[in-house]
Amino acid sequence: MTNPARPPRLRRGATAFALAALVGSGLAIPLASPASATTAAAETAAVPVVPAASLVSTGTAWKYLDTNVDPAAGNADRNAWTAPGYDDSAWPTAASGFGVKKNELAAVGPYMPATKLAHYIDGDSKNTVPTYFFRTTIELEAGVASEVDAVSASIIHDDAARVFVNGQKVAGFLDARVDDASPTNLQYAGESKGDPVVSDFTVDPALLQDGTNTIAVAVYQDRETSSDAYFDMTKLQLSPKTDEGGGTDPVVAAPTRVILTPTETPATSQSFSWLAGDETHKSGAVEIGLAAGGDTRVVDARAVGAVNGNAKEHFSATVTDLAPATAYRYRVGTEGSMSEWYRFTTETPGATDFQFVYYGDAQIGLDTTWPAVVEQAEAKAPRSIGSVHAGDLINTGSNDTEWLNWFKGMERSATSTNVMAAPGNHEYSGDKTLASWKAHFEYPLNQPSTETIGELAGRAQGDSDVARQYAAYFEHWADFAAETVYYTDYQGVRFITLNATRDTTFLKPANLPGCTGAECPSTKVQALWTEYQAAWLDFVLKESPSKWNVVTFHQPVYSTSSGRDEAVLREYWVPVFEENNIDLVLMGHDHTYGRGYKNDDTTETRGMTVGPVYAVSNSGAKHYDLETEAKNVWTNNGATQVIRGERVTTYQVIDVTANQLTYRSYVAEKVNGSKSFKLTDTAAERPVYAAFEVPAVGEVFDEFTVTKYDTGEKWVTEPGIETPAGPALQLGEASVAQGGELQVSGSGFAPGSKIALELHSEPVALASVEVGEDRAFSTTVTIPANTPTDTEHELVAVLPNGKTVSTPLTVTAAETGGENPGGENPGGENPGGENPGGENPGGQKPGETGTTPSDSTTGTGGKGSGSIATTGGASFVPLGIATLALLAAGGGLLLWRRRAAAAETADHTIG
């Protein structure tokens, strides 16, 4: 979010101040004559004034063309008809609004047109006029254009529309299907929205000029059989520049649209965004302190721009140096116009029991359905740390009223918990650069870059035309993806957001190097944008420190509604989801409900899978039909829907514990014709579904559990399906003597994994074992003879990923014999005088132990290593000393016998 500073302007107040300074310095200034005073007064009176009234409104006269003729036919520039010098004298003139309904002058939704448009080509109702063209002008007096600070406008259109000012395109609505490479302007485009759509937009004041300014609009029918069309421009209003040096006091008005968004380090930092209470508020700050009371500190915010024709400034700030697991109070705004006090709590590292909410598209019904949905979700999720939103928060990105209503619905939860949203295609409607999105939200700047997309970055290396194009795209996308592709880790969950919209308009760099041939990235922009994020996603998942990984985006990889299929997303993203076994894939866009799995992730147990869960939901009042089973995108692409629903509005609450995610979808609203279907049989070539009644509002619509143990094993189970038990250790005895042997068994471990067994508190290696196919092992270990008996111990299994499973173990003192067989060394004396008192026999340092490998036994389902490390070497010391003593005694006896024999021989010789 950046807000380029405006260049300073010398205002009249500043000029007067400079003149006064000159007089005060004693510089001689001639007094004005009466004639010159009159001239100066006239010049003052002639200061240009920016018109306060709207320059265009309903009833404005427009030139229009509805004859199925391309106004730029024969011109290399297809937009030539939008330029000020274009000759439209032959076009008819009439007052807005313009419209037609089944070739009649009749109401189009709630709007009654004043002027009828031609509807059919040659009277054929199945061959409608594809595009209508409109032109009008506004006049600005000399000097006015340079005094304009902002231009806001509104149009009503059915279906798609594009707006131009003085030959430059300034807005487009539902126009993604318009083919800019086509040689003709006569195209069907857009998508049917039922009634005409109201769209707001802004115009760069720099496009205006003194004198005549031309406004041009193209309106597109969405299909050949479209039943109606409509156009009106209800507002085009100019806002004057304010006197930056003036002393006008800011209006007292509290800020609105206050929202919390996460940072990369939510335990110690927090981001805030809001909309100024009044357009005179040019600075802002966050005041924050402990919720328990005490001192506060103030952190300055930065202005991030005014958007959507609303002159009020947006602000964002990130506060750092917070304490983990701590409740804070805060308020935002400017001096004299602060918000109320709100509260939030920083992340509690290591905490496991919490909730988060997943919303599908809000989009329609923002002032009715949406607030009710959020209120119900908040009631069901009192322990929520935040919410994820799968795009299309609003219907038109440039419509400020829709943003106002979305924030009203989120007012309570957005000010106390983090909002993690993904942009949808409707966020781009009228706002191709997502200016409104980036003004409202502040997200971590950890989007893809050449450092995080792996081998893909290599395509941008070199001096070829292909490499230079790749480099240009990657550089542009690294900036554009900011705050739309990001992640944050929160209490063991990595929340990842992707941008699934692939509009080539915003994906194209401003200065794209030339390149020809099939290898050029410009020939495959949509696929490359998807692959670019896939490479980053793979990096982010493989580097994830969190146990759980959840990804949210808009267009689904497995579509649920009729006529939709996102093959490009599925090609690049599903393999990454599957390879990294991501936990939840949460999507929107289709205004239906669906949830399921990839068929490769099934098990022998019906109702149990082992891979990612794919879900599509709808949280607004807009509804589409489900695709037929014969055309089911899931079934036709190796996946299975467990449940499907239409004309039902839901929200989802996910409960997180140490080893489980429990997902529950609740009915928030259902309309006439609501339907749902559940999977009943997968044995046949195609899945079989049975219809069931959509539950009442507030009841559970869908439910499943994801269980993941520290071993890495994971199961997704339907209600009523028993989940395999997690890892556990069993000991043959709860206590063992120093130097004694102990039977150790394990169950619930990953088959084939290598487990290291250790004795803690101070880690001592005991054994290594391999887990059998039955997820179990059994072995025998020897406890070191010098293990302290006055310390609490644990038998610990160290998993391949470094995590551990443990169970308590008591170590008792080794038994010692009190008898002295053979009567030798009575009273424990030390014959020979060495080592009196038995201290440190053998000269070993106190506390030293030796290690001797011992064999382990093969247990149920698992086997022990032949090189088990045991630490009982100290128990062999007495035996070693005894052996040495025996050897010494034997040597002495042998020497005595030799001496005796020699003496005997001498005696015989003498004799």
Would 867 be classed as within a structural domain? no
Q: Render pLDDT for 535-547 as a digit per residue (tens, 0 to 9).
A: 999 999 999 999 9
Maximum separation of any 2 CA atoms in the chain, in Å: 169
Amino acid at 767: A
The pLDDT of residue 52 is: 87
Same domain, 202 and 225: yes
pLDDT grade for 890, boundaries at 50, 70 and 90: low
Q: Render pLDDT for 680-707 as a digit per residue (tens, 0 to 9).
A: 999 888 999 999 999 999 999 999 999 9
CB 537 within 8 A of CB 569: no
Amino acid at 575: P
Same domain, 537 and 573: no
User: Which SS3 state, helix, strand or coil, does residue 371 take?
Assistant: helix
CB 160 within 8 A of CB 190: yes
The pLDDT of residue 72 is: 95
Residue 266 has pLDDT above 60, yes or no: yes
Mean pLDDT for 16-36 is 39
Residues 6+ apart with CB under 8 A from 772: 751, 860, 861, 862, 863
Would 369 be classed as within a structural domain? no
* Lowest mean pLDDT across 35-44, 803-812, 853-862: 853-862
Would 840 be classed as within a structural domain? no
Q: Render pLDDT for 46-85 as a digit per residue (tens, 0 to 9).
A: 678 999 889 999 999 999 999 999 999 999 999 999 999 9
Phi and psi torsions of 164, nearest 5°: -130, 145
Q: Domain containing 795: what range?
A: 728-811
Residues 6+ apart with CB under 8 A from 149: 205, 239, 240, 241, 242, 311
Residue 755 has pLDDT above 80, yes or no: yes
Q: How many structural domains compose the chain?
A: 5
CA–CA separation, 695 and 665 (whole Å):
11
Would 116 be classed as within a structural domain? yes
Q: Look up the CATH number of the domain holding residue 767.
A: 2.60.40.230
Mean pLDDT for 213-238 is 94
pLDDT grade for 503, boundaries at 50, 70 and 90: confident
Dump strand ranges (E) for 281-425: 285-290, 296-300, 302-305, 314-319, 327-334, 337-338, 342-345, 354-359, 384-389, 418-421
Mean pLDDT for 230-246 is 81
Would 423 be classed as within a structural domain? no
Same domain, 516 and 572: no
Q: Render pLDDT for 122-152 as a digit per residue (tens, 0 to 9).
A: 888 789 999 999 999 999 999 999 999 889 8
Same domain, 213 and 189: yes
Q: Look up the CATH number of the domain holding residue 229.
A: 2.60.120.260
Same domain, 206 and 69: yes
| Cα–Cα distances in angstroms (integers) from residue 554 to residues 135, 587, 599, in the given order | 36, 5, 23
Q: List the structure tokens of 857.
A: 């036994």
* Lowest mean pLDDT across 322-331, 417-426, 697-706, 883-892: 883-892
Instruction: Select from 663, 696, 724 the last residue of a domain.
Output: 724
Amino acid at 153: A
* Helix 525-542 / helix 465-480 crossing angle, nearest 10 deg: 60
The pLDDT of residue 177 is: 86
Residue 5 has pLDDT above 60, yes or no: no
Same domain, 718 and 742: no
Same domain, 472 and 564: no
Q: Render pLDDT for 473-489 as a digit per residue (tens, 0 to 9).
A: 999 999 999 999 999 99
Q: What is the mean pLDDT of the chain?
A: 86
What does 747-816 look like in DSSP terms, one character per residue? ESPPTT-EEEEEEETTTEEEEEEE--TTSEEEEEEE--TT--SSS-EEEEEEPTTS-EEEEEEEEEPPP-
* Lowest mean pLDDT across 378-392, 534-548, 777-791, 896-910: 896-910
Mean pLDDT for 323-339 is 96
Enumerate helices (H) and strands (E) in the chain, giving the number of each: 10, 46
Would 787 be classed as within a structural domain? yes
CA–CA separation, 457 and 437 (whole Å):
28
Same domain, 201 and 113: yes
CA–CA separation, 270 and 317 (whole Å):
8
The pLDDT of residue 847 is: 35
pLDDT grade for 230, boundaries at 50, 70 and 90: very high
Mean pLDDT for 843-858 is 35
Would 15 be classed as within a structural domain? no
Amino acid at 233: M
Same domain, 151 and 236: yes
* CA 756 centroid distance within chain: 37
Would 139 be classed as within a structural domain? yes
Q: Render pLDDT for 631-667 as a digit per residue (tens, 0 to 9).
A: 999 999 999 999 999 999 999 999 999 999 999 999 9
Characterize 575-611 residue by residue with b for buried, 16 or more Cβ atoms within 10 angstroms of its Cβ, and e for exposed.
ebbeebebbbbbbbbbbbbbbbbbbebbeeeebbbeb
Same domain, 280 and 198: no
Within 10 Å of residue 862's Cβ, how many Cβ atoms? 25
Residue 907 has pLDDT above 80, yes or no: no
Same domain, 218 and 180: yes
| Sign, Cα dihedral of 500, 504, 506, 510 | positive
Q: List the structure tokens of 223.
A: 């299909």
Residue 318 has pLDDT above 90, yes or no: yes
pLDDT grade for 505, boundaries at 50, 70 and 90: confident
Instruction: Select from 240, 272, 300 the last residue of a domain.
Output: 240
Q: Render pLDDT for 435-449 as a digit per residue (tens, 0 to 9).
A: 999 999 999 999 999
| Cα–Cα distances in angstroms (integers) from residue 868 to residues 30, 741, 802, 873, in the given order | 106, 13, 19, 13
Mean pLDDT for 326-347 is 96
Q: Render pLDDT for 355-375 as a digit per residue (tens, 0 to 9).
A: 999 999 999 999 999 999 999
Same domain, 563 and 643: yes
User: Which SS3 state, helix, strand or coil, does residue 495 take?
Assistant: strand
Phi and psi torsions of 897, nearest 5°: -65, -40
* Lowest mean pLDDT across 201-215, 306-320, 786-800, 860-874: 860-874
Mean pLDDT for 616-639 is 96
Mean pLDDT for 401-421 is 96
